[in-house]
C-alpha cells in the first residue's frame, strides 16, 4: 500500500498523459520506453524506407550513428526547402560525424535550443544516448507545437511547448479579465493614502 501512495505523490501536478511522462523521462537517464516512442515516431516520420533498429541502447545507437536517419527525420519536418541537401550513407567515421553535425545544424535552425542539443560524440561514441533522446524529444515537441502539417504520429507522444505572444484578446475579453483581477485583489480604484488612518496617530510631545 505504501508503494502505491508513493507513486501517487510522484504524479501530482498537471498531467498530459503520454507527453507528461515523456517530459519526465527526458530529465532522467536513457529510457527504454522513450526509445520505443522515438523509434515509432521516426519510422512514421521518415516512411517505410527506414528500417526499425534492434531494441535497446546499442541498437538505437547503431541505427542513428551514421546520421542518415537523423537527416531524413529533420528534412521531413521542413515544409519547404530541405536543410540537409545530401544524405549519404558511409562507413567512414568522419563522413558519419559530418552527417550527424548536418542534422544538429538543421535541428538548431528548426528551433531546438543549444541546451537541448546533444554533441556528435554523445551519439557516435555512445557517450550519452540520453542526450540524444533529449534532442529528439525536443524536436518532436517543436514539431507538435508548430503544427505545420509535417508532423506524423500521435501528438500526445510529445509535450507541447508553450508558445510566446501567441494569444490575442479582444477588448471585451480584456475588460472581463480586469474585472476578475479586481475581484480577486480587492479594488483600489480611486484609493489614496489620504483619509486613511492606521490606528492612533503617534503623539509627539
pLDDT in tens, 173-183: 656 655 555 55
Short-list 55, 64, 118, CA closest to 96: 64
In this prediction, residues 115-137 reach a mean pLDDT of: 94
Q: Does the residue 86 lie in any domain?
A: yes
CATH code of 89's domain: 1.10.418.10
Q: Does the residue 92 lie in any domain?
A: yes
Q: Calculate what percentage of the chain has a pLDDT beyond 70.
A: 65
> Angle, to 10 degrees, between the axis of helix 18-27 and the axis of helix 129-146?
150
Q: Does the residue 17 lie in any domain?
A: no
Q: Does the residue 87 lie in any domain?
A: yes
* CA count, 13 A, side-chain hemisphere, 47: 7
In this prediction, residues 145-163 reach a mean pLDDT of: 87
> 76 is in which domain, residue-wise?
28-157
Helices (H), the chain: 2-10, 18-27, 32-46, 57-64, 68-77, 93-110, 120-124, 129-146, 171-185
Q: How many folded domains does the chain comprise?
A: 1
Binned at pLDDT 50, 70 and 90, residue 5 comes out as: very low
Q: Does the residue 22 lie in any domain?
A: no
Question: What is the structure's pLDDT at 2?
Answer: 45
Short-list 87, 48, 73, CA closest to 143: 73
Q: Look up residue 173 and give its DSSP letter.
A: H
Q: Does the residue 40 lie in any domain?
A: yes
Question: What is the structure's pLDDT at 9?
Answer: 42
Q: Does the residue 143 lie in any domain?
A: yes
List pLDDT tens digits, range 60-108: 999 999 999 999 999 999 998 999 999 999 999 999 999 999 999 999 9
In this prediction, residues 110-131 reach a mean pLDDT of: 94
Q: Does the residue 173 lie in any domain?
A: no
pLDDT over threshold 70, residue 186: no
Amino acid at each position: 500500500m505504501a508503494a502505491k501512495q508513493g507513486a501517487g505523490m510522484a504524479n501530482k501536478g498537471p498531467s498530459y498523459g503520454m507527453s507528461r511522462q515523456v517530459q519526465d523521462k527526458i530529465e532522467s537517464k536513457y529510457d527504454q520506453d522513450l526509445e520505443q516512442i522515438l523509434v515509432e515516431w521516426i519510422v512514421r516520420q521518415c516512411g517505410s524506407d527506414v528500417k526499425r533498429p534492434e531494441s535497446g541502447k546499442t541498437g538505437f545507437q547503431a541505427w542513428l550513428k551514421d546520421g542518415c536517419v537523423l537527416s531524413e527525420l529533420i528534412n521531413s519536418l521542413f515544409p519547404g526547402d530541405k536543410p540537409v541537401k545530401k544524405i549519404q550513407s558511409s562507413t567512414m567515421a568522419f563522413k558519419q560525424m559530418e552527417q550527424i553535425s548536418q542534422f544538429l545544424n538543421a535541428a538548431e535552425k528548426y528551433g531546438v535550443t543549444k541546451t537541448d542539443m546533444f554533441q556528435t560524440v554523445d551519439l557516435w561514441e555512445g557517450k550519452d544516448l540520453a542526450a540524444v533522446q533529449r534532442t529528439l524529444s525536443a524536436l518532436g515537441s517543436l514539431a507538435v507545437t508548430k503544427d505545420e502539417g509535417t508532423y506524423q504520429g500521435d501528438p500526445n507522444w510529445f509535450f507541447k511547448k508553450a508558445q510566446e505572444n501567441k494569444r490575442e484578446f479582444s477588448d471585451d475579453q480584456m475588460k472581463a479579465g480586469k474585472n476578475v483581477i479586481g475581484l480577486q485583489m480587492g479594488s483600489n480604484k480611486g484609493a489614496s493614502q489620504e483619509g486613511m488612518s492606521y490606528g492612533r496617530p503617534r503623539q509627539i510631545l
